[in-house]
Amino acid sequence: MDADNVREDFPLLEEREGANPPIYFDSACQTLRPKCVMDAMAEYYDLFPACAGRSAHRLATEVSIRCDDARSRAASFFGADEPSEIAFLKNATEGLNTVIFGSGLGRDDEVITTDYEHNSVHIPLMRVSEDLGVKRKVVPSLSEGTFDLERFEEMMTSKVKLVAMCLTSNVTGYTLPAKEVVDIAHANGAKVLFDAAQAAPSIRLRLGELGVDYAVVSAHKMLGPSGVGIMYASGESVSGLRPLSYGGHGVTGATLDSYELLPPPERFEAGLQNYSGIIGVGAAIDYLDRVGFDDLREHEISLNKRMTRRLMDIPSVAILEPLDPNLRGGILAFNVKDIMHHDVAIILDHSRNIMLRAGMLCCHSLFQSRRLDGCVRASVYLYNTAAEADAFSQAIDDIAERL
């Protein structure tokens, strides 16, 4: 991949007189957006700033056509069987909550998760446990930070109604064996929900072939706009799923005593939508298709290997497992002995113009269980370069030498 050529599409990374562009190593939180995505969003506001699915005039019709096109492109991109399996929500958190609260879990039903879930899965499951009597079971990670498939299979019983798991960890970058998890769950009669927010930017997901029942993605982690989440619900699994919100566009009719919902996916899209954002998703998907996932993934791992080799030579640096960069994609989470993670991030920002994330990364339960108060997370993407990786590694080396 020619990262230098790619960088021309991202305004923040343009060379400007008197100021060097930042080294943006925070793409696991939110990626930068290429110009084509922002142009597509601006076109909505400039040329047809109306509501889809409501008014009959030509502007509203154009919005409906553009949003339908984005839905079709998303369905093709993620390997859905039909566009109706794709719903646009305000973020991935809303999608995860929709499935967890809307799938009909009840007392004594069981749900199985990993021990490194994002709070958007962890907290809703705590709520259904406290409010409905649902039992949650957690698969402990192996010592090297990977998924224990054998233990998971042992934990599966007919009482398990939902397997809700982080497909790719936003902390370590590790991706669990998705197909094996789906097959084991289905063999025991359970449905599967994947939090795919961290997987979708770097891994070609073919959800229909995978056989997963539900998957949720964040547009802002894959070159798209903020304020848009994508929820996949397979045609076989969506019928019993209740929406999280009601009203507006999600209803086809109502009396004083009854109401009727629109069919999926519109029933999950109540209220005014982020139309410019949905259109921007279509542009982001087209961009990623042009880049190609094989080259993208190889590029991420090559940068991660480059940084990992340098950091492993620094005695005071501890990388969160797994240590193999091939298992971590574009994510490198670590700590520097005797320096707070937030301090490391601030030093890098103010002294080296390197921007990354520090803290518990919305995954508090993982850090609490490992007796860690957080970490520093560097995350690279298609627009990062080997020179940036070396500058980052040198900066960490310099910080460590101050100890």
- How confident is the model over 265-293, as pLDDT tens digits? 999 999 999 999 999 999 999 999 999 99
Instruction: Give the model's confidence band at 402: pLDDT under 50 very low, under 70 low, under 90 confident, else very high.
Output: confident
Extents of the domains making up the chain: 3-25+292-401, 37-289
Domain spanning 3-25+292-401: which superfamily?
Answer: Aspartate Aminotransferase, domain 1 (3.90.1150.10)
The confidence score (pLDDT) of residue 103 equals 95
Cα-only R_g, the chain: 22
Active-site amino acid positions = 362
Instruction: Give the model's confidence band at 53: pLDDT under 50 very low, under 70 low, under 90 confident, else very high.
Output: confident
The confidence score (pLDDT) of residue 18 equals 73
Instruction: Give the model's confidence band at 230: pLDDT under 50 very low, under 70 low, under 90 confident, else very high.
Output: very high
pLDDT at residue 54 is higher than 90: no
pLDDT tens-digit readout, 359-396? 999 999 999 999 999 999 999 999 999 999 999 999 99
For the record, the structure tokens of 366 come out as 């993982």
Helix axes 275-291, 58-77, angle to 10 degrees: 40
pLDDT tens-digit readout, 138-175? 999 999 999 999 999 999 999 999 999 999 999 999 99
- What whole-number distance in Å separates Cα of residue 15 and Cα of residue 20? 6
pLDDT tens-digit readout, 92-144? 999 999 999 999 999 999 999 999 999 999 999 999 999 999 999 999 999 99
In CATH, the architecture of 37-289 is 3-Layer(aba) Sandwich (3.40)
The percent of residues above 70 in pLDDT, for the chain, comes to 100
pTM: 0.96
Sole residue written with tokens 């009669």? 189
Report the DSSP beta bridge partners of residue 191: 162
Q: What contacts 296, CB < 8 A, 6 or more positions away?
A: 1, 202, 288, 381, 382
| 304 three-class SS | helix
